[in-house]
Amino acid sequence: MGSRPPRVVAIGDGIVDLVTPPMEDFAPGDVQAEVPRFDPLPGGNATNFALQMSSLGASTTFIGAVGSDSNAKLLRDRYREYGVRARLRIDPSRPTGSTMALTWSTGRRALVTNPGANARLRLSDVPLRAIRGAHHVHRSGFWWTSGLVGKPTATLLARARRLGATTSLDVSTDPQGWPADRIQAVRICLPHVDVFFGNETEICAVAGDKSPIRAGKRLRSLGAGEVVIHQGERGATLITPSGVVRSPAFDVAIDNPTGCGDVFNAAYAYAKLARPSVGESLRFANAAAALHLRDRRRPYPTRGEVRRFLRRFAPP
């Protein structure tokens, strides 16, 4: 691809997160707490992925659905600010998706989401011309974009591949707790996925195995090219046809625990497009996620910031 920036398309959820500053832990039971403010931040897995991808230097398109309210404006402003091309289906009858995100200084979070307009996104909103020429197509915000769950996602990832792109998928936590039909809706996508991302709980749930490494291998046997397991403060593990590669996390203060996985995914996919070694891609992604985690005022680090951060650390 030479020195031209890679072209990447992210398909999925557009959500505004209302995030509390990190709070001290609550006692169990009814609680009344005070915070100095709520920070309205762009969120949604695919939105975070797109903003991070563009911040790293990729020419990035986001495809999703919003309402016609002030949260839609907030998202549009952020896409514009970060140079992301947004192809948005607009449903004026529904609110833009939003999440109440309670965060604690321990890193614990409680997220409550109203998917709103995201539920209206359809396969017809992803025409071939929108993905033609892309080097990479990423799909996330899987459950909130309920019109694309299962077969439509498999179809669009297969189309992306036929058009020459690599593909990735992160389904995140199932808000319905992984009933069998929802696991199957993920599994039918796997043969069309080059990189499947998830945390240990998600990988184990989709594979039906309690060991994360065995689960990752099982997902490969079900069709995923490689599997990347997010492991929080322990970093990440990659399962490829040639083996298992581990990469430790960077030790940073926790200021912004929402969206680390998406930032990680974008940085990993970006690094992989430039084809460094798998170990370097994991390290680059852990570093980008650490920068996101430690400062909510700069949630999407640039390529230069990630490289400078990596230079300051001896190889971990």
Ligand X SMILES: Nc1ncnc2c1ncn2[C@@H]1O[C@H](COP(=O)(O)OP(=O)(O)OP(=O)(O)O)[C@@H](O)[C@H]1O
Site for ligand X in 148-187 (CB under 6 A): 172
How far apart CA 55 and CA 102 sit, in angstroms, is: 26
Is 112 an interacting residue with respect to ligand X (CB under 6 A)? no
Q: What angle do CA 63, 124, 74 make, to 5 degrees?
A: 30
Is 250 an interacting residue with respect to ligand X (CB under 6 A)? yes
CA dihedral 295→296→299→304, nearest 10 degrees, is -20
- The token pair that represents 136 in the structure block: 């990479």
How far apart CA 259 and CA 170 sit, in angstroms, is: 12
Stretch that binds Mg ion, among 123-131, 174-182, 219-227, 261-269 (CB under 5 A): 261-269
- Name the maximum alpha-carbon separation found in the chain: 58
Three-class DSSP category at 89? strand
Please, which residue, 92 or 107, has the CB nearer to ligand X?
107
Among 216, 261, 299, 301, binds Mg ion (CB under 5 A): 261
In residues, how long is the chain?
Answer: 316
Burial of 221 (0-12, 13-18, 19+ CB in 10 A): exposed
Please, which residue, 125 or 262, has the CB nearer to ligand X?
262
Is 230 an interacting residue with respect to ligand X (CB under 6 A)? yes
Please, which residue, 223 or 232, has the CB nearer to ligand X?
232
Q: What is the size of the binding site for Mg ion (CB under 5 A)?
A: 2
Is 259 an interacting residue with respect to ligand X (CB under 6 A)? yes
Answer with the entry of Mg ion, ligand X, none that 222 interacts with (C-beta below 5 to 8 A by kind). none
Please, which residue, 66 or 289, has the CB nearer to Mg ion?
289
- The token pair that represents 297 in the structure block: 């005022």
Region label for 274, one of left (φ > 0), alpha (ψ between -120 and 50) or beta (otherwise): alpha
| Residue 111, beta-bridge partner list | 101
Is 212 an interacting residue with respect to ligand X (CB under 6 A)? no
Answer with the entry of ligand X, Mg ion, none that 290 interacts with (C-beta below 5 to 8 A by kind). ligand X
CA dihedral 171→177→181→185, nearest 10 degrees, is 0
Is 141 an interacting residue with respect to Mg ion (CB under 5 A)? no
Among 90, 233, 276, 313, binds ligand X (CB under 6 A): 233
* Cβ proximity of 140 and 172 under 8 Å: yes
Among 47, 238, 286, 309, binds ligand X (CB under 6 A): 286
The least distance separating ligand X from the CB of residue 93, rounded to whole angstroms, comes to 29
How far apart CA 101 and CA 235 sit, in angstroms, is: 23
Among 232, 246, 302, 303, binds ligand X (CB under 6 A): 232
Q: Which amino acid is at 92?
A: P
Is 141 an interacting residue with respect to ligand X (CB under 6 A)? no
Is 260 an interacting residue with respect to ligand X (CB under 6 A)? yes
Is 52 an interacting residue with respect to ligand X (CB under 6 A)? no
| Residues making contact with ligand X (CB under 6 A) | 107, 172, 199, 230-233, 235-236, 249-250, 252, 254, 259-261, 264, 286, 289-290, 293
